[in-house]
């Protein structure tokens, strides 16, 4: 009888461990907008807008965005596009980048565990004690070079 009890306790323990493991990789998908979050019932606005609306009269920004997305997909990893009213999010392992189309440029915002030392940096805002949101403006496809892609790789894998 004691053996059975021990086995039951062990079984219970294994189940708990498994549940803990599955919690760490758990992602909640909102059933109405399809966005994914780390927390269940994460408060958010479900509103999305058609992707092309971001690029009305902003051909240069569209060219830069297409090139950036191509380069990220090719050299870093897959992303999903989430078109929100305020900006376009790229979702890799998490929402790792926000793109804001401007008239002749594309602003991008992403988190890093440091303030970026880059001439194109327009702002750096602390997000937590460890991470900073870095904003920079891309004006040419030449700006989307090896250096920038290495920085974006850091952002892409920041929460993996
Ligand atoms: Zn939603």
Whole-model pTM: value is 0.78
Residues with CB under 5 A from ligand 1 (ion): 30, 32-33, 46
DSSP 4-66: HHHHHHHHHHHHHHHHHHHHHT--EE-TTT--EESSTT---------GGGGGTT-HHHHHHHH
Look at the domain 51-156 and name its fold.
Answer: 3.90.1150
Q: CA torsion 44→45→47→52, rounded to 10°? A: -60
Q: How far is the CA of 32 from the centre of ligand 1 (A)?
A: 5
Q: How far is the CA of 21 from the centre of ligand 1 (A)?
A: 25
Looking at residue 33, its pLDDT comes to: 86
Note down pLDDT in tens along the chain; length 160 residues: 555 555 454 444 444 444 444 344 568 899 888 888 888 898 998 998 999 999 999 999 999 999 999 999 999 999 999 999 999 999 998 899 999 999 999 999 999 999 988 878 888 999 888 999 999 999 999 999 999 999 999 999 998 6
Q: What CA–CA distance (Å, rounded) separates 18 from 14? A: 6
């Amino acid at each position: 009888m004691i053996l059975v009890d021990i086995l039951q306790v062990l079984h219970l323990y294994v189940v708990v461990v498994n549940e803990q493991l599955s919690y760490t990789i758990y992602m909640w998908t909102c059933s109405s907008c399809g966005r994914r979050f780390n927390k269940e019932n994460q408060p958010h606005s479900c509103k999305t807008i058609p992707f092309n609306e971001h690029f009305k009269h902003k051909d240069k920004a569209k060219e830069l965005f297409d090139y950036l997305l191509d380069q990220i997909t090719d050299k870093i990893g897959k992303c999903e596009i989430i078109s929100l009213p305020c900006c376009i999010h790229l979702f890799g392992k998490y929402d790792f980048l926000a793109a804001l189309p401007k008239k002749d440029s594309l602003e991008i915002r992403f988190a890093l565990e440091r303030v970026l030392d880059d001439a194109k940096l327009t702002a750096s805002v602390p997000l937590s004690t460890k991470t900073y949101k870095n904003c920079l403006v891309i004006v040419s496809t030449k700006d989307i070079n090896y250096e920038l892609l290495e920085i974006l790789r850091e952002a892409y894998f920041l929460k993996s």
